[in-house]
Structure 1
Amino acid sequence: MSADQVAGVAPAAGAHRARVVVTGANAGLGYFVAEQVAATGARVVLACRDEGRAARAVESIRQRYPDADLEVVIADLADLASVRRAASQIVAGGPVDTLVANAGVVGSKSRETTADGFELQFGTNHLGHFALIAHLLPALTSADAGRIVHLGSISHRWARLDLDDPMLTSGYRSYRAYSRSKLAVMTFGFELDRRLRAAGSSVRSVVAHPGFALDTLTEKRPGIVSRRWIPSPVVGLLRTVCQGKDQGARPLTYAALGADVRGGEYWGPDGWFQLTGAPALVRAKKHAMNRKAAARLWNLSARLTRLQPVLE
């Protein structure tokens, strides 16, 4: 079974070849989204921080799909200057049908900062993508029906935004920083769609999450996926509540290309507690859609990045 069939998105013969940008496409979820999207015949722009790892991802995808239409753009979401350069290169290549805003940082033992002085996880996961989206909106608008997919997380259920201290200058905890950054991503994603609709834009903003996805359960991809050996009984136990990142990528791929996906929706696995399963329309917690918090987050993000997304 091909990756596109696994993802639930079938190639359309004779259809427009979509141009899909995937950030963090050299590893983890981003790699498998890129592979699954490439299987549909779409052109995939792998936006990666490291040129060598990007080259290995291209080689891995072409081992399975020799005719895959791929290009690489170097983009470090933790550096706004790098984001600006990457966006300029992407825009020069023409319209963008879909942006999968996947790249991010998961965990940091101590508080670290980006090149621009932002707390690393908030600065990379949210602010880096906020800036990239602001730069790419003209290219998304020029597509027939542009789409932005934001990578959410089940961790948003237990997080609350603290916009008085978004950089966690006090009381830093790695998991708290991560979950708040993902809640910020989701809050922005839902608010962006509301504002796009109000502006009469054809661009849609969608949020998707992978469930509980682990490298340990992921399909082998030499040079891409690092899996440590664990006993078979443990693997069986893990599969009751977890899945591989190849499976976790499926809701993101579906959100990126699915014909029935609508703006403002939230996609994830259809299994128990949204931990595993096939792509499905799921529910986010109400606090991720709080309009007041979203407005504050938008204004804060625009001030910090010195960018204001132009919606039209």
Structure 2
Amino acid sequence: MSDLTEKVIIVTGANSGIGLEAAKILSQQGAQVILAVRNRQKGEEAIASILNGNKEAKVEVMDLDLSDLNSVRTFAQAFLEQYNSLDLLINNAGVMTPPYERTKEGFELQFGSNHLGHFALTGLLLPLLKKTSNSRVVTLSSIAHRGASIDFDNLDGSKGYKAMKFYRQSKLANLLFAKELDNRLKQHGLPTISIGCHPGITSTNLFKFGKRDSSNLLKTLLKWFFQPVEMGVLPTIYAATSEGLRGGEYIGPDGRGNRTGNPAIETPAANVYNQEMMKKLWDTSEELTGVVYDFQ
């Protein structure tokens, strides 16, 4: 990894798991890293853990609740007022298989937080990304996108809710967004690139399943069969820093089923990049969030 001194990086959900590990690694390379988190106390604890290992780290906590579009707008405005460049936005934060719940705007929580919140955030920060040389956006998806579909007639879950089905839908949306964003950036001749990635099967606090802690059995399985966060973060770091990427790639572990291993360019599930669905998702996301991207 090259020196990242003077690079400005936002990592959403950086108070734990892959987000925290990514913030540690990127700050070790000299970057100014903003931990965009919902819980400020946990964010401050994450800062302390980073500084404990690297007293020279340039890290900062900023409040961001992706389930509240007013919070997303407030964060973006505060960031634009404080910084004049943005080299890297890592859309990492996520919620997995919670009980049925809606966001402040009435969206199903997983689709609203995992996809719509990041869609709005990226669009609001696009003016700064466009101004920053060699900037990029990295969005985390999941192997759970395989076999998933987007039910445009039930995005709020009011016509029925299955936690894993809606999680898979949100992760498919993340992947389609990452690809469509790169397509549109290229169509408008912009140098910013967008890349998707996923951590395989990694032991993180996503497996707390909403507000309920995992069972002791599951925790044991996580330790023995899932890769540690130090490995799970590598696709994110590769997507964020590899100079050989041109945008539009999907990075994941290279092991069997892409569940574990070292980072590599991966081929998504067959026919996943459906142009009609990608356009419909984009148009729907702009309509639902009220954030219209300015590529000019």
Q: Return the TM-score normalized by structure 1.
A: 0.87
| 1:102 alignment partner in structure 2 | 92
| 2:286 alignment partner in structure 1 | 302
| 1:54 alignment partner in structure 2 | 43
2:69 & 2:288 partners in 1: Cα distance?
Answer: 10
Matched, 1:259 2:243: yes
Instruction: Find 2:266's aligned residue among 276, 279, 282.
Output: 282
| 2:295 alignment partner in structure 1 | 311
Render the CA deviation track for 1:80-105: whole Å, top value 9, x for unaligned. Answer: 00000111122221210000001111
Render the CA deviation track for 1:1-45: whole Å, top value 9, x for unaligned. Answer: xxxxxxxx2x43xx6521110000001111111111111111101
Give the deviation of 1:237 after TM superposition: 4.5
CA 1:112 to 1:204, structure 2 compared with 1: closer, same or farther past 3 Å? same
1:178 & 1:193 partners in 2: Cα distance?
Answer: 23
CA 1:229 to 1:35, structure 2 compared with 1: closer, same or farther past 3 Å? farther
| 1:89 alignment partner in structure 2 | 78
* 2:106–2:156 Cα contact (<8 Å) kept: no
Aligned partner of residue 146 in structure 2, secondary structure: helix
Instruction: Find 1:32's aligned residue among 4, 21, 25.
Output: 21
What is the percentage of aligned positions where both structures have the same residue? 38
Gapped regions of structure 2 (runs ≥ 5): 206-212
1:235 & 1:142 partners in 2: Cα distance?
Answer: 42
Structure 2 counterpart of 1:107, one-letter code: T
2:264 & 2:270 partners in 1: Cα distance?
Answer: 18
Q: Which structure 1 residue ranges, 4+ long, deviate > 3 Å from structure 2? A: 226-231, 233-237
| 1:207 alignment partner in structure 2 | 196
Q: Return the TM-score normalized by structure 2.
A: 0.92
* 1:215–1:227 Cα contact (<8 Å) kept: no
Render the CA deviation track for 1:216-242: whole Å, top value 9, x for unaligned. Answer: 9xxxxxxxxx998779x967751xxx2
Matched, 1:70 2:42: no
CA 1:117 to 1:144, structure 2 compared with 1: closer, same or farther past 3 Å? same
Range that drifts further, 256-265 or 148-157: 256-265
| 2:227 alignment partner in structure 1 | 243
Gapped regions of structure 1 (runs ≥ 5): 1-8, 217-225
Aligned partner of residue 213 in structure 1, secondary structure: coil
* 2:5–2:29 Cα contact (<8 Å) kept: no
| Total equivalences in the alignment | 288
Give the deviation of 1:244 after TM superposition: 1.4
